[in-house]
Every structure is written in structure tokens, then in C-alpha cells.
């Protein structure tokens, strides 16, 4: 899907938006004080931790899509691998939590590596199908490995202890999830500014010129999928503890769609946007849950509205507002919001979204 | 051997359904280069409309079918005019996400309107299976194969032998040049979406008696048919039909010899292997994959 992403030029959209240090500090402060307000409410804390978990998966997916130019509609499967690894380890061995967490990340990273191998060769919709297949296969495999995974009923995750703290309790788990998320955000940022991160973006920008700069495209994609999967594995650890049960039914195709939507709503190529998008969609989903089928429809409408009204996602909103203000000052409304997907310079349209020749 | 033949023959019904659904996907992809992820949910609406017309309004089956297919066409046209047209000039990824958004909207509203309980929808042809030697052939399956062949050939004739079909192919080839030739790209896209949803809707209605009519009727079928279209090479009519039957037979053989629970997993594993060896699918054009 690199070709499909190329015209979107993410990464350039986020600056000064939800990805700016100020915005991230505000979000962090809000996240830190949140349990002081709602800590007693178990249901709300569960949803808040889910927001952090899904935020981490969305960040991992955005690393893949927004910075690496690849596509995945199977990240729910990676979350499942992390969650199952956690549940299997926690039910069988008495390992310290940090070991379980690291193994959840590592095992999921290996799964991502396996997924990345064909991805190195596939593009566009064909890559989408491979990842889709992975996403639907993981719960099915879990269903068939009953002796390991508990089959249809799944595994009940025992509460883990860290000293005198029970990690399964809502507030400690929330803070643990927040720590993992913050550490992951810092890790993703340092990856992005490293040579590896620049290789990701070079592959995203052109799979043809990247090899000319000495970049091994296939290997870069495998590293990208492995890295993205590792963070999903960490999220899977929190998911397992937060849900207390890991069962195949939790990892439906719509979960993968949820992460995909969160990336778009938040803004491709924006770290802060990923978190914002995921948290917003979690809130929308839970607010609408009593509405039955409407909740699904509302999520769909949210996606459509963002695409039509703010094509750059939430991350582009501050920029667009600034653009509008500046545009009004200059009495040149046409220049407003130049940072949107829609106002890319109109190249010659090509039916496949990529030049045919070469 | 008899078991093998029987498994292949029983797979023809679902193979035809996958082929039809994949054809619907292909019709839209050919002109718009968008994989309509909402196609399963939209097709389910057609099956629901058949149920409403037949059971709710008491109309005869043939009339119910015609009305529902027209309804499906209207839904396809409306989604193109209301949503897809507005993101046409954006990055192609945006169009795909828009179809994902429509999937959520349509599936959600289907549940709200028709409820989640399974509904009975009568099969069109019922009656005992026909025995050919030791192999028994399901009458419904035969009808599905016949209908798939008819629609597939009809589409082939339309695209390759008629002037409107030529116009559609011109838009698919180069929309800008086609519009210089006086072909309305808007109409071609709108009608392609209408036709695509209508054809997939027929697949959904044929599947409903055996799968059970619920808002999630097409969930599995849509995934299999999506795999079929990609296996055959996106945008190829022949690829969609061959891919559909191949996936149907594969899935049936896996269910027969391994486990029904592993159908999706193994089908996808095989498809990933095929794509690894031939990244553009069986009948796809290599140029569309290379950059």
C-alpha cells in the first residue's frame, strides 16, 4: 500500500498539532490526574485502561502506516498474540511481571516478523489481504489449540503481584499501562529519529528510490512489522490483565478495523494523534454502547465525518485552524488548511494510485 | 475418491456464492480502484430486503428479488454519490477507510432496522438432491452455479462487446482521457457501484437460506470472497470466478479432511503462498502491482 500512502505524505502533517510537546504534556498531565477523579469507579477505570491499551496498538499501527507506508488490517491478531502469551505464561509459571511483559512483546515481535516476511513482497490491496488473513487466523488457531489456549472458553488471567501491589486492580493497572505507553511513545520517537526510522520513511516515500540509497526494502519492512508487533505485544499484556480473561471472541475483525479507524481519525504520521484518536473512539464506542447497533453506526459516521471535514485527522485540526485564521487575515481563504490530504498538488491521476510504468 | 468428488461437488454452491460476491467487488474495483470493504454489509441489506418483501409484504419470490436488487443498486449508487465521490480526489487510502466507515454504518443500521435474531428465508429451489452414481448434487447449488455462470458471462459480454461496456473500460483505463471522449466518469462510477452492490446482494440472498439471515450474514463470506478476488487478481472478472470456486473447493476440502475451524486460516495461508510466488494474483496484470 506504499503507493496508496505516498500521496498522503504523512509526517509532514502533524507538526505543531497533537504531536507537539505542549500537547503531549497536557495529555500526560490529564492522564496522571485522571485516577484521582475517577479511581473509585471500576468500570470507568477499566475503560480508561482500555483507552491506553488501544492507544498503544494505534501508535504501533501508525508507525507501520503513517511512517512506514505499509498497511495492516490485522493488528487485532497481534494484540491477540500478546494477550495469549501473557495469559499462558501467567497461568503456568510464576514469573515476575517484567519478564512476562518482555516475553509478550518478544513473542508478538516474532509473529510480526513472520507477518513481515510476505509483506516484504506484497503491496497495496494484496498486503491488506495478507494482514487481514493473519488477523482472522490468530483467533481461529487459538480456538484449535485448546490445550494451550483454553479453546472457546479462553484463559482466566491470574492477578499478578508486584510487591504488595496487585497489578490486576484498576488503579495500579492503569498506571502500569500509562508507564508502558509513555515508555513506548519515547521509544517510537527515538526510533523515528534514528537511521532505522529514516529508512522506514524512505521506504514509505518511494520503494523505488530507497534501494538506490542503499536501503534493503524487504529487510526494512520486516523490521517495521517486527517493531510494530512488539508494541502490540506490550499492549496485549495490559489487555490480558485488564480483561482478566483472554478468549478468541475478543479479537474479531472489527477490532482490527477499530485500530485502523483510530489511525485515520487521529491522523496518519502523528504520535499524539494516534493516542487521541484511539481514546476518542473508545469513548465514542462506550458512550454509544447502550444504543446497540447505533454504536457501530456512530463509529462509522465519526470516521466518515473526519475524512470529509478534516482529512488530516485530529492531528491536523490546530494547523487547519491556524491556516484558516492566517488565511482570513490575508484575505486569501483559498490558502487555508493547506496541510490536508485533499489539497495535495494534483498530479496526473493514475488508476492504480501509482504510476504504471517502471 | 468418492469422498473427494463429493466434497468438490458440494463446494460448488458456496464456490458460486464466493465467485458472485467477488464479481461484485471486481465491478467496483475495475472502475474506481477502490476495494469496497463495505460490500458484505451492503449485500446483507439486499437479502434483508428480499425477506421483508417476501415475508413481510407477501410478494412473490421473483418480484421480491427484483425489488431487493433494485434497492441494493440504489444503496450502491447512494454510497457512491454521498460518500465515495467526495473523497475521490484524496489519497487512495482515504477511499478505503471511507468504505470501512460505511461498513460500520451499514452493518450497524441493518441491526437497528432488522434486528439481530436469525430470520428464515426460503430457498428458491428445494427438493431432494440429485444422485449421480455415489455423488449427490444439491439442487440449490446447481442453481447458484448456473446463476453465477450467467451473470459472469453477461458481465463479460457487457464489458467486451457493448459500447457502454467499452465506455466503462475506458474510464478504468484512464478516467481523464475518457472524459475528454465525452464519457461521464461520474455516471460510470455511480452505476458501477450500483451494479457491484446488486451482484454481491444476489450472492448474499443465495447464501441466506443455508447461512442464516442475520446482520452478520456476509461476515465470513465477504472475507472468503475478498480472498478469492485477490487470489484471482483484483480487477479480473475471470480471476474473480476462478478464485471464487477455488476458494470454495479449498475451504470444503479443508473442512472435510482437516477441521472446519481451520478453514479461514488454511485458505489464507495458501493464498499468502500463492501471492508470495505471484504477487499480482493468478489473472492480475503485473503492471498494476509493480511501481
pLDDT at A358 over 70: no
pLDDT bin (cut points 50, 70, 90) of residue A182 is: very high
Contact A208 B291 (CB under 8 A): yes
By mean pLDDT, which of A54-68, A90-104, A155-169, B167-181 is the weakest?
A155-169
Over residues B175-193, mean pLDDT: 88
Per-residue pLDDT, A285: 81
pLDDT at A48 over 90: yes
pLDDT bin (cut points 50, 70, 90) of residue B51 is: very high
pLDDT at A104 over 50: yes
Residue A87 belongs to a domain: yes
Find the CATH number of the domain harbouring A274.
1.10.3470
* C-alpha B35: how far from chain center: 11
Q: What cell was used for A219?
A: 529487510
Using a CB-CB cut-off of 8 Å, the residues of chain A touching B102 are 300, 304
pTM comes to 0.81
Cα A74 from Cα A77, distance rounded (Å): 6
Helix H or strand E encompassing B179: helix B175-180
pLDDT at A15 over 50: no
Contact A208 B275 (CB under 8 A): no
Residue A357 belongs to a domain: no
Contact A353 B102 (CB under 8 A): no
Over residues A258-273, mean pLDDT: 87
Residue of B nearest to A354 (CA): B291
* B2-32 vs B237-257: helix crossing angle, rounded to 10: 150
Per-residue pLDDT, B129: 76
* B263-277 vs A124-144: helix crossing angle, rounded to 10: 150
Query: Burial, A85: exposed, middle or buried (Cβ in 10 Å; 0-12, 13-18, 19+)?
Result: buried
Closest CA to A232 of A96, A76, A95, A49: A76
pLDDT bin (cut points 50, 70, 90) of residue A18 is: low
Cα A293 from Cα B154, distance rounded (Å): 37
Contact A297 B219 (CB under 8 A): no
Residue A290 belongs to a domain: yes
pLDDT bin (cut points 50, 70, 90) of residue B22 is: very high
Residue A353 belongs to a domain: no
Residues of the domain holding A59: 2-343
Using a CB-CB cut-off of 8 Å, the residues of chain B touching A5 are 91, 93
Interface mutation vs chain B, best among A119, A125, A264, most B CBs within 10 Å: A125
The answer to whether A207 contacts chain B (CB < 8 Å) is: yes
Per-residue pLDDT, A195: 93
Per-residue pLDDT, B140: 80
pLDDT bin (cut points 50, 70, 90) of residue A84 is: very high
pLDDT at A193 over 90: yes
How many percent of chain B have pLDDT more than 70? 96
Over residues A304-323, mean pLDDT: 80
Residue A354 belongs to a domain: no
Using a CB-CB cut-off of 8 Å, the residues of chain A touching B251 are none
The answer to whether A353 contacts chain B (CB < 8 Å) is: yes
Over residues A248-277, mean pLDDT: 88
Per-residue pLDDT, A246: 93
Over residues B88-101, mean pLDDT: 80
Per-residue pLDDT, A119: 77
**B-proximal residues of A, 230-289, CB under 8 Å:** 253-254, 257, 260-261, 264, 268
Contact A293 B35 (CB under 8 A): no
Q: pLDDT tens across A332-354, in order?
A: 544 444 444 444 444 444 444 34
Over residues B92-120, mean pLDDT: 86
Q: pLDDT tens across B130-161, in order?
A: 777 777 788 888 888 999 999 999 999 999 89
By mean pLDDT, which of A62-66, A133-137, A335-339, B273-277 is the weakest?
A335-339
Residue of A nearest to B108 (CA): A293
Q: How far is A81 from chain B (nearest CA, A)?
A: 15
Cα B37 from Cα A257, distance rounded (Å): 10
Per-residue pLDDT, B241: 93
Per-residue pLDDT, A348: 43
Reduce the DSSP state of residue B11 to 3 states and report it. Answer: helix
| Max mean pLDDT range (A231-240, A303-312, B132-141, B154-163) | A231-240
* Residue ranges of domains in chain B, CATH in brackets: 2-125+136-289 (1.10.3470)
Contact A261 B91 (CB under 8 A): no
Residue A48 belongs to a domain: yes
Over residues A24-52, mean pLDDT: 86
Q: Select the residue of B100, B269, B289 nearest A257 (Cβ to Cβ).
A: B100
End-to-end CA distance of chain A: 17
Q: Select the residue of B104, B116, B279 nearest A303 (Cβ to Cβ).
A: B104
Per-residue pLDDT, A344: 42
Q: How far is B158 from chain A (nearest CA, A)?
A: 21
Quote the number of domains for chain A.
Answer: 1
Q: Is the alpha carbon torsion for A301, B96, B218, B251 positive or negative?
A: negative
Q: Select the residue of A254, A260, A297 nearest B109 (Cβ to Cβ).
A: A297
Per-residue pLDDT, A3: 44
* pLDDT, averaged across chain A: 81
Q: Select the residue of A4, A294, A301 nearest B91 (Cβ to Cβ).
A: A4
Cα B218 from Cα B202, distance rounded (Å): 12
Per-residue pLDDT, A83: 96
Closest CA to A149 of A60, A89, A213: A89
Per-residue pLDDT, A4: 43
Contact B100 A207 (CB under 8 A): no
Q: pLDDT tens across B185-210, in order?
A: 889 999 999 999 999 999 999 998 88
Using a CB-CB cut-off of 8 Å, the residues of chain B touching A311 are 87, 90, 94
Residue A168 belongs to a domain: yes
Residue A348 belongs to a domain: no
Per-residue pLDDT, B157: 93
Amino acid at each position: 500500500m506504499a503507493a496508496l500512502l505516498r500521496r498522503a505524505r504523512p509526517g509532514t502533517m502533524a507538526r505543531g498539532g497533537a504531536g507537539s510537546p505542549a500537547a503531549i504534556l497536557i495529555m500526560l498531565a490529564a492522564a496522571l490526574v485522571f485516577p484521582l477523579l475517577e479511581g473509585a469507579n471500576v468500570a470507568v477505570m477499566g475503560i480508561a485502561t482500555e483507552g491506553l491499551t488501544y492507544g498503544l496498538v494505534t501508535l504501533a499501527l501508525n508507525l507501520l502506516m503513517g511512517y512506514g507506508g505499509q498497511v495492516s488490517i490485522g493488528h487485532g491478531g497481534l494484540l491477540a498474540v500478546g494477550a495469549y502469551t501473557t495469559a499462558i505464561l501467567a497461568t503456568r509459571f510464576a514469573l515476575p511481571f517484567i519478564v512476562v511483559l518482555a516475553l509478550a512483546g518478544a513473542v508478538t515481535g516474532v509473529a510480526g516478523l513472520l507477518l513481515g516476511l510476505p509483506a516484504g513482497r506484497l503491496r497495496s490491496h494484496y498486503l491488506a489481504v495478507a494482514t487481514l488473513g493473519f488477523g482472522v487466523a490468530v483467533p481461529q488457531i487459538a480456538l484449535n489449540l485448546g490445550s494451550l489456549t483454553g479453546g472457546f472458553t479462553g484463559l482466566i488471567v491470574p492477578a499478578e503481584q508486584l510487591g504488595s501491589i496487585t497489578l490486576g486492580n484498576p488503579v495500579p493497572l492503569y498506571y502500569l499501562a500509562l508507564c508502558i505507553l509513555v515508555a513506548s511513545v519515547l521509544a517510537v520517537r527515538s526510533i523515528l529519529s534514528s537511521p532505522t526510522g529514516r529508512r522506514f520513511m524512505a521506504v514509505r516515500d518511494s520503494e523505488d528510490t530507497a534501494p538506490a540509497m542503499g536501503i534493503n526494502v524487504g529487510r526494512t519492512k520486516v523490521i517495521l512489522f517486527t517493531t510494530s508487533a512488539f508494541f502490540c505485544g506490550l499492549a496485549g499484556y495490559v489487555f490480558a490483565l485488564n480483561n482478566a480473561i483472554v478468549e478468541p471472541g475478543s479479537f474479531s475483525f472489527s477490532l482490527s478495523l477499530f485500530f485502523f479507524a483510530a489511525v485515520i481519525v487521529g491522523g496518519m504520521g502523528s504520535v499524539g494523534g494516534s493516542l487521541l484518536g484511539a481514546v476518542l473512539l473508545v469513548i465514542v464506542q462506550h458512550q454509544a454502547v447502550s444504543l446497540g447497533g447505533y454504536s457501530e453506526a456512530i463509529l462509522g459516521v465519526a470516521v466518515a465525518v473526519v475524512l470529509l471535514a478534516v482529512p488530516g485527522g485530529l492531528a491536523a485540526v490546530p494547523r487547519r485552524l491556524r491556516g484558516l485564521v492566517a488565511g482570513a487575515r490575508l484575505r486569501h481563504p483559498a490558502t487555508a488548511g493547506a496541510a490536508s490530504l485533499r489539497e495535495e498538488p494534483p498530479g496526473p491521476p493514475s488508476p492504480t494510485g501509482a504510476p504504471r510504468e517502471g | 475418491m468418492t469422498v473427494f468428488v463429493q466434497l468438490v461437488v458440494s463446494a460448488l454452491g458456496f464456490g458460486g456464492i464466493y465467485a458472485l460476491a467477488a464479481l461484485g467487488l471486481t465491478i467496483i474495483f475495475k472502475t474506481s480502484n477502490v476495494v469496497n470493504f463495505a460490500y458484505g454489509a451492503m449485500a446483507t441489506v439486499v437479502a434483508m430486503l428480499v425477506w421483508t418483501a417476501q415475508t413481510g409484504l407477501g410478494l412473490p419470490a421473483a418480484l421480491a428479488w427484483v425489488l431487493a436488487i433494485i434497492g441494493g443498486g440504489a444503496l450502491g449508487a447512494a454510497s457512491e454519490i454521498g460518500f465515495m465521490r467526495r473523497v475521490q480526489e484524496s489519497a487512495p487510502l482515504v477511499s478505503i477507510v471511507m468504505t470501512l466507515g460505511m461498513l460500520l454504518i451499514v452493518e450497524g443500521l441493518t441491526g437497528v432496522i432488522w434486528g439481530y435474531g436469525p430470520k428464515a428465508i426460503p430457498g428458491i429451489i428445494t427438493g431432494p438432491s440429485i444422485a449421480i452414481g455415489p455423488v449427490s448434487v444439491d439442487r440449490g447449488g446447481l442453481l447458484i452455479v448456473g446463476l453465477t455462470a450467467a451473470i459472469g458471462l453477461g458481465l463479460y459480454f457487457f464489458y467486451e462487446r457493448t459500447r457502454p461496456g467499452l465506455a466503462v473500460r475506458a474510464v478504468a483505463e484512464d478516467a481523464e482521457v475518457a472524459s475528454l471522449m465525452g464519457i461521464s466518469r461520474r455516471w460510470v462510477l455511480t452505476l458501477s457501484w450500483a451494479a457491484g452492490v446488486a451482484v454481491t446482494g444476489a450472492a448474499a440472498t443465495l447464501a441466506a437460506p443455508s447461512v442464516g439471515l442475520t446482520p452478520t450474514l456476509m461476515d465470513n463470506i465477504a472475507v472468503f470472497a475478498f480472498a478469492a478476488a485477490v487470489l484471482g487478481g483484483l480487477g479480473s472478472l475471470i480471476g474473480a470466478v476462478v478464485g471464487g470456486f477455488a476458494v470454495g473447493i479449498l475451504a470444503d476440502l479443508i473442512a472435510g479432511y482437516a477441521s472446519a475451524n481451520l478453514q479461514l486460516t488454511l485458505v489464507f495461508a495458501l493464498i499468502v503462498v500463492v501471492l508470495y510466488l505471484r504477487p499480482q494474483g493468478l489473472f492480475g496484470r503485473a503492471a498494476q502491482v509493480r511501481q
